[in-house]
Structure 1
Amino acid sequence: MKLTIKTLASTVAAVLMSTSALAADFNFKFQSSDPSGDKNFQVQQEWTERVEKMSGGRIHIDLLPVGAVVKHTETLGAIKMGVLDGHITATGYFSGKDPAFGLIGNMVGAWSDTRQLLEYINYGGGYELMTELYAPYGVKYVGGSTTGVESFVSKVPLDGVDDLKGLKLRAPEGLVQKVFAAAGAAPVNLPGSEVFTGLSKGVIDAADYTVFSTNQKAGMNDIAPHPVQPGFHSLPMIDISMSQKKWDKMPDDLQEIMTVSVRDFAQDITTQLRIADAKAVKEAQANPDITIHNWPAEERKKFRQIAMGEWEKYAEQSPNAKKVYNSITTYLKGAGLL
């Protein structure tokens, strides 16, 4: 076959188009608060791939696992300093910077279904409030999600609030610990990476950790065979945020793609984890050594009453925390959830 000038020109054009397609207009480095082996991280990775396709290759996001650049509690500052371009993380990790993040990040006992939190974020004032809270850090709140109502890992039977008294349990610092302490438990500071070892060695008897399917896969329910499912306590906010300066440099169409993609991500991750949880529950039920405890409505109500008292106290810690408290309780009342 003869290579004519016309054919050569077409070939060169195709190569140039291919090369330009590989070079994204906007390259971002994001860090997750999850390890690379977790289901959460895999779903987050799928999100970055969809963003690249939706943008026609103009946006490329390099997603790094927890601790790859900075500690999970330091990503907000790292974005401000330009060390990272963005993060996918649990908002509550920044309660040390402002108690407001601890309150909006995990208002213990407030939500009983993922749809409730997502509706608050997108339609009940949560998006606007998070935008305001992140503004002083030079960070753009692109959008929010959650994982699922977290399960509760326990080595001993737990069928209600009274069973929490004296229980040595791992719980994140801040509001979560305060609520469990108010319920009579003995919270222990322990990183998530040490929960399995802590349970194995008897350092703790129980743990507020993550969703049922992740616990089951990690073997938590084998060493702590009395999980509480569905959980009664925790539904954390997960946020996808990035540098405001980097955001402002993107044209309107790419900003819109990012915004819409996060709403899709929220639907995707909550659905995938709900499916995974249902499968894991069946697997656990088939194991005679594991007993799943489902708290009755009355016990869930008791725990929530305790939590509500702690919400109010926690809200007094900063003006922003008070704003969060007023915003969420107003929404819950209006939605008939409080």
Structure 2
Amino acid sequence: MKLKPIISDEMATVNSGVSEKVTLALFGVGRIGSVHLKSIARHLRIHLKYLVEEAVDIAKKALNDVGLEHVSIVNFKGVSQVLEDKSVQGVVVCTPTSTHQKVVTQALRAGKAVFCEKPVAHNSEAADECYKVAEECKLPLLCAFHKRFDPTFGPIIKRSRDGEIGQIRYIKTTLRDTMDPSFPGLSTLGGCFLDLALHDVDLACACIGEFPTTVSGDGHAFAKDIEKNKDFDQAIANLKFPSGALATIEMSRFCNYGYDQRLEVFGIEGMLSGSNVHDNHVVAFNSSGTSQPKLQASFPERYLESYYNEMDHFVKVIQGKEKLCISRIDAVAAIKIVEACEKAAKTKTIIDLTW
């Protein structure tokens, strides 16, 4: 099944033009919520009216850290106040994955556009239900696949789809996180495949413009806490597409040398490659050899511009300046593929997919 157009050159750059402001509410200011809060604070066309968060002290500190004032902090019992406020045009959902479906559908039915940190819901069926509600309400629902908006990966998607390297034969992605496998909130993130592979599955599908027909996977839990949860901290997913192209997605929960993020798209006429981002671009040459600065520490640093760009896209969609670039089928298909990869890894089988 072919995908719709993915990303334009404009979406791979930061646009800070000033025009009318869009009023938003942010739900959750945990690990990813604090990242999106920075984008909101930086954006000249966003007015953040509410921050929905149970931990008031954490919410106050987060707002103070980004210099935002006059934002009402509301707990989840008072969420009706936010959803009934007609001045709020959109909601940014950064609550735990298990709560996404409820928060997303509540916001849509209240007449709000929704930006949801991936995944939109805890499984593909629930995600599809969310999009059905969005279509019924005639409102945009953006699944936050930030890698599509990355200044490096975004152009690779477009150039791959434009045929620059001819027929695509193979895609390779690497995602090695710097997270400590004993991180206390790890169990809320949805498992190794859903949490880590989802972005890169979407990336691979976006580059080739197809969904895979067969998938397989494998993994291992090196950390005891991960093993207890019957999850993996090192895993691989293999995809085969209708055109015959193959993709390998390699992921790790822990990487001691930095946040390792790479993409290769190999075609019959060449290759497009996106390499890692370092703390700076200085390379030292001396009698001992050459050296580079460390890789950036984690996702908030590596994808700083990507997070801003996707928030900017959401604002433009609300304002009617851009069409939603990630469709229902894209968001739901990515979860369906990841679910199949995880099942394949746990059952040691190859799984066929139909579309």
> TM-score normalized by structure 2?
0.29
Structure having the larger proportion of residues in strand: 2
Write 1 or 2 for the structure with the bigger share of helix: 1
Larger Rg: 1
